Amino acid sequence: MSNHYPFVLAELPYKYDALESVIDRQTVEIHYGKHHQSYVDNLNKILEGMPYLQNKTLEELMNSEVAAIKNNAGGVWNHNFYWQEMKGGEEGEISVDLGKRIEKKFGSLVEFKALFEKNALGRFGSGWGWLVEDNEGELEIMSTANQDNPLSLGKKPLLGIDVWEHAYYLRYQNRRAEYVGSWWKVVNWEWVGKR
């Protein structure tokens, strides 16, 4: 897939109802087909009038000082990531390597999940909760506002949960904790482990 203008909506790696155990079909349809698509369309619309930015990568555009570029580029990147890191079917198991690193850093997988959830719930308003790796390969849990991305802070996302209301409102309404707590069932650990 091309990583510069014109950007295209990345293919959804499964059917709309594949995540039904946690995220209902209509939410995926709207979240992917409307919200994610809008970030792609808005970014292209802005860049249409800025030829000197048309060869910039998504990652470069995420660092733009122009808020509309930064927000929409982040929206595209974050949602590409979000759909890839999930899967339908049986609940997956964390890879041995990542499991060991998580245990070393956070004590256990259970303690890690609790911290990750607490962090995602603590994000006021719209944003994302992340597990990231810094330059030294150290794991860290953090959150960002809006469509900001840890890459802009020199940290590599390994796992990220969208906690904008549009990600969960139809099924969970105001119960963000229930969405975040259920979300583990659809994490594609195999994909995450490969990062």
Residues forming contacts to Mn ion in the complex (CB under 5 A) are: 162, 164
Please state the φ and ψ torsions of residue 184, each to the nearest 5 degrees. Answer: -55, -30
Q: Shortest distance, CB of residue 43 to Mn ion, whole angstroms? A: 15
Q: Any binding-site annotation on 31?
A: yes
Q: Are 81 and 157 in contact (CB under 8 A)?
A: yes
Residue 123 CB, shortest distance to Mn ion, in Å, is 13
CA distance 180 to 195: 22
The reply, when asked if residue 79 is annotated as ligand binding, is yes
Based on CB atoms, which residue is closest to Mn ion, 16 or 106?
16
Q: How far is the CB of 83 from Mn ion (least distance, A)?
A: 10
Q: Taking the complex as a whole, how short is the minimal distance between the CB of residue 78 and Mn ion, in angstroms?
A: 7
Three-state SS for 96? helix
Nearer CB in complex with Mn ion: 71/188: 71
Which is closer to Mn ion, CB of 101 or CB of 147?
Answer: 147
Do 195 and 158 meet the contact criterion of CB atoms below 8 Å apart?
yes
The reply to whether 4 sits in an annotated binding site is: no
Q: Which residue is nearest to Mn ion (CB)?
A: 162
The residue (of 102 and 161) whose beta carbon lies closer to Mn ion is 161
Q: DSSP letter string over 22-40?
A: TS-HHHHHHIIIIIIHHHH
Q: How many angstroms separate the CA atoms of 64 and 42, rounded? A: 15
Query: 């390994």: which residue's tokens?
Result: 158
Instruction: Name the minimum Å distance from CB 166 to Mn ion.
Output: 5
Report the distance separating Cα 28 and Cα 42, nearest Å. 20
Q: Which is nearer to Mn ion, 70 or 101 (CB)?
A: 70
Q: What DSSP designation does 107 have?
A: S
Q: Which residue ranges are tagged as binding site?
A: 31, 79, 162, 166
Q: Which residue ranges are tagged as binding site for Mn(2+)?
A: 31, 79, 162, 166
